[in-house]
Amino acid sequence: MQHADWSTIYPYLVWALTAIIGLGIALASAGKRLHIRRLPAIDAIEEAVGRATEMGRPMMFVPGLAGVDVPTFQAIAIAGHVARLAARYRSRIILPVTDTVILTMAEQVLREAYAEGGAPDAFNPEDIRFLSGDQFAFASGVVGLMNRERVAANFFFGSFAAESLILAETGQALGAIQIAGTPSTLQIPFFIAACDFTVIGEEYYAVTAYLTREPILLGSVWGQDVCRILLASLIFATTVAQKFLPPSFSNSWGCEGDG
Amino acid sequence: MMFEPLQNSTLNYILVASALIVSVVILIALHSSPPYVRRWVIAGVTFLVGLYVPLEFYIPRHNFLTVWRDPLSDLVRVLAGFTIGLGIVNLVIVHGRHILQRTANFPFSLAFFVGFISMAFVGFLHHYKPDLWAQKPGEGELAFWSAAYKVFFEGLLLPLTSTVFSLLAFFIVSAAYRAFRIRTLEAGLLMAAAIIVMLANVPVGTWLTSWLPQDGWLKWLRLENAALWLTTQINAPAMRGILFGAAVGGLGAALRILLSLERSFAFGGQ
């Protein structure tokens, strides 16, 4: 059974970061005005939905390969936003999933989004498709769907692996407008090469705050930014310390350094 | 172990049946309840389970919460089991409609049913009755249904998935072609870095600069050293920076989910 090792700095660091993010949320709740910088990829979502509507072709939203985890939860939240826009234009979204738990979750979120968008009858539960739990069977299923349905816009949000480029290149070959976002660092270059817009790294977790502009969500993004500044300072300080201080110093923090 | 496996099979069956009935009742109750009740139930369960996991991890060693870890994992597996049924229903409805209505894509749906039914049939027989309707296997031979399973799995499914994976090689080339078109300074730098790293990974690349000295500052002009410098001093820190940012973002997103602050998106209602 694995538990936190309190003789090292790591658990304290995680709780400190959590407290800072909590502080950001508290400040935003108290009325502090916060700003979030522009994310062109997210601004392009409406353009992509509009273009698909004009062409009279469906859109595809792929929420990644993972099961129930934080990136997938974010992806489903973004899918809700895209569906709300699609409902406004009575457009169709196809959402293939690789995990059956996500299937039920996505169906509920999209059904509610279409209802909120004023077009509950435009929602077709059959457009939320479980394809396969296997990575490449899923990829070939998505590629087949893209080709048969001639999708006009693709949204790739969530955790992806080697199938990312197969999906994005197929969409590129079809001439679809493509917007991607992933926290999977190894897949970011593939999406940048094959998609029109890409949300990378920490931006991925700021999307819901950016879309809703809810002060509390903006507060959490502000807290995360403070954490990043602190972490960067800590990395700089420890690099300098490791260069000039004896190895016993870093070992006293519970960090296994190579001297 | 908090719960020991039951030895009494009758009692076991009764408990399983009761658990199924209770689960169905809970599902019906949730389904027929108003949306705001469902929202509160989801928010409450998310908060409690989301609080349990970090607390169990951060309270040192084996603690009063640890005993619930295995039962909770089992519960998650049971819930996932329910949804697998829903996944199969979804596939059958979608493909069944294509076949019944003879849509343009109905051959694909037919292929799905043939593949699904035959794989399930062979898989079950391989697991439970590998020599049903067949001769007993000889010494060192596979039973008929086990051999059939091997053909389906190793002879069909694995080559098919490998084929899809191999497509990646061609897609990488087309994506690289677009990425490396030199239109901006950044694309130019990317192209230069890519050429150095690619050349350093083939024998002819290292041969090109093999005449340069192994020591002194000129050694950094040798392609293998330049590529090593690019990957460890430029690429790795940049990737780690993105990873740090994403990790903190993940922590913030997890906190928002735990506190149900994302409810406007995930559970509907503004």
Provide the residue ranges of all domains of chain B, joining segments of one domain with +: 123-179, 182-258
Nearest-Cα distance to chain B for A247, in Å, is 22
Task: Determine the Cα–Cα distance for residues A114 and A84; give it in Å rounded to an integer.
Answer: 6
User: Tell me, what's the pLDDT at B159?
Assistant: 93
Number of structural domains (chain A) is 2
Q: How far apart are CA B6 and CA A197, in angstroms?
A: 56
Q: Is A206 in the same domain as A236? A: no
B93 contacts on A by Cβ (under 8 Å): 126
CA pair distance A127, A151, nearest whole angstrom: 13
Please tell me whether residues A144 and A192 are part of one structural domain: yes
**Is A5 part of a structural domain of the chain?**
no
Query: Pick from B66, B168, B246: which is nearest to A183 by CB?
Result: B246
Q: Which residues contact A187 (CB under 8 A, 6 or more apart)?
A: A160, A161, A164, A165
Nearest residue in B to A220, CA atom: B252
Interatomic CA distance for residues B137 and B144, integer angstroms: 7
pLDDT of residue B151: 92
ipTM score: 0.84
Mutate to test the interface with A, among B41, B93, B171 (most CBs of A within 10 A): B171
| Mean predicted lDDT score pLDDT of chain A | 89
**Span B192-241, pLDDT tens digits:** 999 999 999 999 988 998 888 888 888 888 999 999 999 999 999 999 99
In-domain check, residue A69? yes
One domain, residues A187 and A122 = yes
Nearest-10 crossing angle of helices A70-88, A100-116: 30
Count Cβ–Cβ pairs < 8 Å, chain A vs chain B: 187
Answer yes or no: is A34 within a domain.
no
Minimal CA–CA distance to B248: which of A141, A234, A241, A147? Answer: A234
Q: In this structure, are A168 and A68 located in the same domain? A: yes
| The pair of three-digit structure tokens given for residue B123, joined into one six-digit string | 């898989």
* pLDDT (mean) for A155-165: 93
pLDDT of A254 above 80? no
Q: Which domain holds residue A116?
A: 40-212
Distance from CA of B129 to the nearest CA of A (A): 26
Per-residue model confidence (pLDDT) at position B264: 52
Q: What is the mean pLDDT of residues A68-86?
A: 91
Q: Is residue A176 within 8 Å of A153, Cβ to Cβ?
A: yes
Which of B190, B239, B256 to mutate against chain A (most A CBs within 10 Å)? B256
Q: Are B96 and B75 in contact (CB under 8 A)?
A: no
Average pLDDT taken over every residue of chain B: 86
Taking CA–CA distances from B89, the nearest residue in chain A reads: A130
Q: Is residue A6 predicted with pLDDT exceeding 80?
A: yes
Quote the pLDDT of residue A251.
67
Q: Quick one: A50 and A162 in the same domain?
A: yes
Structural tokens at position B196: 């150095």
Same domain, A220 and A128: no
Rounded Cα distance, B58 and A15, in Å: 10
Specify the pLDDT at position A212. 83
A17: region left, alpha or beta (phi > 0 left; psi from -120 to 50 alpha): alpha
Residue A125 and residue A190 in one domain? yes
* A68 occurs within a structural domain: yes
Using an 8 Å CB-CB cutoff, list chain B residues near A189: 179
pLDDT given at position B259:
82
pLDDT, residue A250, reads 64
Bridge partners, A177 (sequence order): A153
Residue % of chain A over a pLDDT of 90: 57
**Does the pLDDT at position A170 exceed 90?**
yes
Q: Cβ–Cβ of A21/B176 closer than 8 Å?
A: no
Q: For residue A50, with 0-12 CB atoms within 10 Å meaning exposed, 13-18 middle and 19 or more buried, which class applies? A: middle
Same domain, A126 and A228: no
Mean pLDDT of B178-191: 82
In the numeric block, the tokens 């970011």 are attached to A188
Please tell me the predicted confidence (pLDDT) of residue A130. Answer: 92
- As a whole number, mean pLDDT of residues A69-98 equals 93
pLDDT at B78 over 90: no
User: What's the mean pLDDT in A141-150?
Assistant: 94
Reported confidence tier of residue A123, pLDDT bands at 50, 70, 90: very high
Pair A174, A49 in one domain: yes
- For B42, name the nearest residue in chain A, comparing CA atoms only: A105
Averaged over A14-24, what is the pLDDT?
A: 92
Residues A114, A220 within the same domain = no
Higher pLDDT, A12 or B81: A12
Residue of A108, A202, A210, A214 to mutate for B, most B C-beta atoms under 10 A: A202
Task: Report the distance separating Cα A245 and Cα A231, nearest Å.
Answer: 20
B52 closest CA partner among B43, B37, B64: B64
pLDDT of residue B4: 67
Domain match, A94 and A189 both? yes
**CATH number of residue A55's parent domain:** 3.40.50
| Same domain flag for A168 and A45 | yes
pLDDT at residue number B138: 78
Q: Using a CB-CB distance cutoff of 8 angstroms, which residues of chain A are in contact with residue B175?
A: 165, 168-169, 190, 193-194
Chain A nearest CA to B232, separation (Å): 15
Contact at CB, B245 and A202, closer than 8 angstroms = yes
Residue B163, pLDDT > 60, answer: yes
Output the pLDDT for position A142: 95
CA-to-CA distance for B62 and B57, rounded, in angstroms? Answer: 9
Cross-chain Cβ contact B244/A17 below 8 Å: no
pLDDT tops 80 at residue A259:
no
Q: Which residue has the higher pLDDT, A69 or A153?
A: A153
Q: A251 vs A246, which has greater pLDDT?
A: A246
The two three-digit tokens of residue A30, written as one number: 């108290």
> For position A97, what pLDDT does the model report?
94
pLDDT band at A139 (very low <50, low <70, confident <90, very high): very high
| Chain B closest-CA separation from residue A244 CA (Å) | 20
- Whether A113 maps to a domain, the answer reads yes
Indicate the pLDDT class of residue B270, thresholds 50, 70 and 90. Answer: very low
What confidence score (pLDDT) does residue B217 get? Answer: 85
**Separation CA A157–CA A75 (nearest Å):** 5
The reported pLDDT for the residue numbered A152 is: 96
pLDDT above 90: residue B41: no
**Segment (H or E) for A97:** strand A93-97
pLDDT at A31 (0 to 100): 84
Q: Are A97 and A103 in contact (CB under 8 A)?
A: yes
Quick check: B268 pLDDT over 60? no
Distance from CA of B4 to the nearest CA of A (A): 18
Report which of residues A95 and B74 the model is more confident about: A95
A 10 A CB-CB count for A33 gives: 7
Helix (H, G, I), strand (E, B) or coil at B34: coil
Asked if residue B269 has pLDDT above 50, the reply is no
Q: What is the pLDDT of residue B213?
A: 87
Token digits of residue A157:
């949000």
